[in-house]
Amino acid sequence: MNSYAELKRRLASGWNTWNTRSVLSHVLLPEGVAINLGFKHYAGGDYLKEALIGRRGEHDEKIRPGQRTYDGRYTELRIDWKGTAWTVQSATDGDDLVLLVTPCVPPAMRSPLVVAELGLLWNRAGTLGRDGDVLQALTPGRSVCVYGTAAGVAEPYVWAQGPYLALPADRPVGFATGHSRTLAEIEAVIARGRAVRLAEDAAFGGLAEVRNAMQTCLAWDTIYDPLFDRVISPVSRIWNINWGGYVMFCWDSYFAAAMAAVDNRDLAYANVIEVTREGIANGFVPNFVSPSGFQSRDRSQPPVGSLVALQIYERYHETWFLQEIFGDLLTWNRWWPGHRQIDGLLAWGSHPYVPVVGNGGETHSTNKRFGAALESGLDNAPMYDGVPFDVERHVLLLQDVGLNALYVRDCEALAEIATILGRAPEAGELRGRADTYRRAMQQLWDEKSGIFLNRRTDTGAFDHRLSPTHFYPLLAGIATPAQAKRMMDEHFSNPAEFWGEWIMPSCARNDPAYPEQNYWRGRIWAPMNFLVYLGLQRYDLPRERRALAEKSQALLLKEWREHGHVHENYCGDTGEGCNAENSDAFYHWGGLLGLIALLENQHGTETA
């Protein structure tokens, strides 16, 4: 058995919140036995069968996630629904799971019920039954019994498809597997699990709250994909549901791995390996992939895979991990010049393809300007407004600063990986390619503006619409020290462009699109801050580096403290996340704002 096969088996085992459809569903792997918690409300007879973090409907449940471990040893959340609220906690005791439901806001009328429904997910083999107040699942490898701490209530009007126990939810109640336990016994297991979780945060000292926000979001967003028998961290459960089960986006998944690498090696490896394998037969890692073979076959996304893989290696120093992905990352790296080069530099694109029956893709944006914008990851960025798209060469007629800088850094990182693996010819090839594009990038420096600018290939003119991507040349070491200083003094620290209480907006504050505060038109995105921060690390710019780290931390903690949210994007003026419908409230890459703070703390220690 190879190392990754062992890792997959290790990850996909035990009790955890593996089921993407509900954070109240606790599932045992590999058997697929599920204990699905729900709430029955007598006012109107409503039954809450599934719950997700970040729903916004007037009558939807509101979930505030609490402390939790990656491996399911401990979880907690608060759920507010129809005027009543509960804390739901779980913990493991060996192979057993205990659940504790504690009311926070008592019901105004008749007591609601908490329902524990037994299920078998993903068509796994087994039988389910109930004997009195004991639920039982029989699988080929294990028998699981579920006990409550009180006598079950006879309530047939519950939307359940399996055997269940219904208990009054106006007082603390618990459920346990393995054997019957008293409420006090369950509370003791919960207390031990919570202590383990608090000890994890304590190791981060003054940054415990930052680590908590980043790790909690990533852990709740981590699920099991039964189709490929793998544990992955898609962007959010709400996105998963909307995409038919899960959706893996390219650079999002690499950033998930970067965050996991802080203290979960296996999860970091799994996310890098799984997204790198997706669609590479087409020559590139696709923009997105979701169930039933549905993926983007016309476009990729920003090439950050080698950069993240190298960061993970530098933490754990395991070459098998690099060997697992090197060939695919090299294929992807070689793909860019052959499909996205225009006049010696790279441009975002989208190429046509022939759909295959049963292996679908997205066609409405194929070989169009919008498809190229989607490849950039910056879907509606104003930088691409009005830029012509060449349907013959399948690219925007715009040499893109951000893409070319990321590509040079990809070549650099992959060359380092090749050297580690003893692949000297490939290392030489990659360094040569990095040097070629690094030299060509100087064509994009505008001495008058003091920054690298995108350039239209149809007119030869610079495009002066600015974005944090214009700082990415720092990430690849392309800027000279003098150029870097001008970029900082004239643009980064300029309140008319990127400086302010909340930074960095996705377009300059003086851009006509900035007041829209609509997605990539002015809102702040954690991955942009993260990549700019990594660039600042390469230069002697301690003031700007610290400022970006401190302001990113403040931005993350604002919504975390107020709502328990980690947002997809934030308002450039107020730092709010909830003021836009198209900002998912629990989107894991928002946690990159915390990773910046953690890296800065480490950087400061190393340079002290």
pLDDT tens, residue by residue, 18-62: 999 999 999 999 999 999 999 998 866 789 999 999 999 989 999
Please name the residues in contact with 501: beta carbons below 8 A apart, sequence gap of 6 or more: 551, 575
Any idea what DSSP says for residue 445?
E
Q: How far is CA 86 from CA 35, 89, 113, 181, 466, in A?
A: 17, 10, 11, 21, 47
Amino acid at 65: P
For residue 444, give the DSSP letter: G
Distance, CA of 207 to CA of 212 (rounded, Å): 9
Percent helix, strand, coil in the chain, to 5, is 40, 20, 40
Same domain, 241 and 150: no
Question: Cα(500)–Cα(77) distance, rounded to whole angstroms?
Answer: 34
HSE of 586, CA atoms in CB hemisphere, 13 A: 28
Is residue 375 domain-resident?
A: yes
Tens of pLDDT along 355-374? 765 556 677 889 999 999 99
CA quadruple 573, 576, 579, 580: dihedral sign: positive
Strand partners, 449: none
Q: How far apart are CA 265 and CA 281, in angstroms?
A: 27
Report the run of H or E that residue 116 belongs to, with start and end.
Answer: strand 113-120
Same domain for 603 and 584: yes
Last residue of a domain, one of 170, 187, 202: 202
Across the range 72-94, mean pLDDT stands at 96
Number of domains present in the structure of the chain: 2
DSSP string covering 271-291? HHHHHHHTTGGGTS--SEEET
> Is position 9 within any domain?
no
Q: What is the mean pLDDT of the chain?
A: 95
Q: Are strands 33-40 and 47-48 parallel, antiparallel or unpaired?
A: antiparallel
Tally Cβ neighbours within 10 Å of residue 364.
7
Looking at the fold, whether 172 and 278 belong to one and the same domain comes out as no
Closest CA to 297 of 287, 305, 306: 287
Regarding whether 382 and 256 lie in a shared domain, the answer is yes
Whole-angstrom Cα distance, residue 235 to residue 596? 19
The residue range of the domain holding 167 is 22-202
Asked whether residue 181 falls in the same domain as residue 213, the answer is: no
Same domain, 219 and 176: no
Report if residue 14 sits inside a domain.
Answer: no
Beta-carbon neighbour count of residue 73 at 10 Å? 19
Q: Decide if 169 is inside a domain.
A: yes
- Specify whether 177 is located in the same domain as 220: no
- CA torsion 537→542→547→550, rounded to 10°? 70
Least confident of 31-45, 297-311, 517-531, 582-596: 31-45
Share of the chain above pLDDT 90, in %: 90
Q: What is the pLDDT of residues 219-252, one digit of tens each?
A: 999 999 999 999 999 999 999 999 999 999 999 9
Q: Which two tokens stand for residue 282?
A: 């087409």
pLDDT in tens, 492-525: 999 999 999 999 999 999 999 999 999 999 999 9
pLDDT at residue number 608: 37
Query: What pLDDT, on a 0 to 100 scale, did the predictor assign at position 43?
Result: 67
Encoded amino acid at 564, one letter: G
Say if residue 175 is in the same domain as residue 308: no
- Residue 173 lies inside a defined structural domain of this protein: yes
Cα 384 → chain centroid? 25
CA-to-CA distance for 75 and 72, rounded, in angstroms? 6
Q: Are 150 and 165 in contact (CB under 8 A)?
A: no
- Say if residues 106 and 26 touch (Cβ distance below 8 Å): no
Q: Which of 184, 202, 220 is the last residue of a domain?
A: 202
141 pLDDT band, cuts 50/70/90, is confident
* 110, pLDDT greater than 70: yes
Q: Which residues contact 386 (CB under 8 A, 6 or more apart)?
A: none
570: DSSP letter: B
pLDDT of residue 605 exceeding 50: no
Closest CA to 553 of 520, 596, 510, 517: 596
Please report whether residue 333 resides in a domain: yes
* pLDDT level of residue 399 (50, 70, 90 thresholds): very high
The pLDDT value recorded for residue 361 is: 64
CB 146 within 8 A of CB 165: yes
Predicted TM-score (pTM) of this structure:
0.96
Residues 490 and 405 grouped into a single domain:
yes
* Residues 451 and 592 both lie in one domain: yes
Handedness of CA 204, 210, 212, 218 (dihedral sign): negative
Q: Is 546 exposed, middle or buried (0-12, 13-18, 19+ CB in 10 A)?
A: middle
Tell me which of 337 and 604 has the higher pLDDT.
337
Alpha helices in 222-304 (DSSP H): 237-242, 250-260, 265-277
Dihedral sign of CA atoms 246, 251, 257, 260 in order: negative
531 CA to centre of own chain: 15
Nearest of 8, 53, 15 to residue 218 by alpha carbon: 53
pLDDT above 60 (res 607):
no
Rg (CA), the chain: 25
Which residue, chain included where needed, has tokens 């909690």? 216
In a domain, 482, yes or no: yes
Listed residues 180, 202, 224: the one ending a domain:
202
Where does the pLDDT of residue 354 fall: very low under 50, low under 70, confident under 90, or very high at 90 and above? confident
Give the SS3 label for residue 82.
coil
The enclosing domain of 236 has a CATH number of 1.50.10.10
240 in a structural domain: yes
Q: What backbone phi and psi angles, to 5 degrees, belong to 566?
A: -125, 110
Beta strands in 350-438 (DSSP E): 389-390, 395-396, 398-399
Q: What is the DSSP letter of 386?
A: T
Asked if 139 and 232 sit in the same domain, the reply is: no
Output the CA torsion 159→23→585→191 (10° steps).
Answer: 130
The predicted structure's pLDDT at residue 1: 45
The neighbouring-strand residues paired with 114 are: 39, 167
Residue 536 one-letter amino acid: L
90's tokens:
């779980």
Residue 315 in tokens: 């933490």
Q: What are 487's two structure tokens?
A: 């970029």
Q: Are residues 262 and 119 in the same domain?
A: no
> Is pLDDT of 603 > 70?
no
Distance between CA atoms of 470 and 472, rounded to whole angstroms? 6
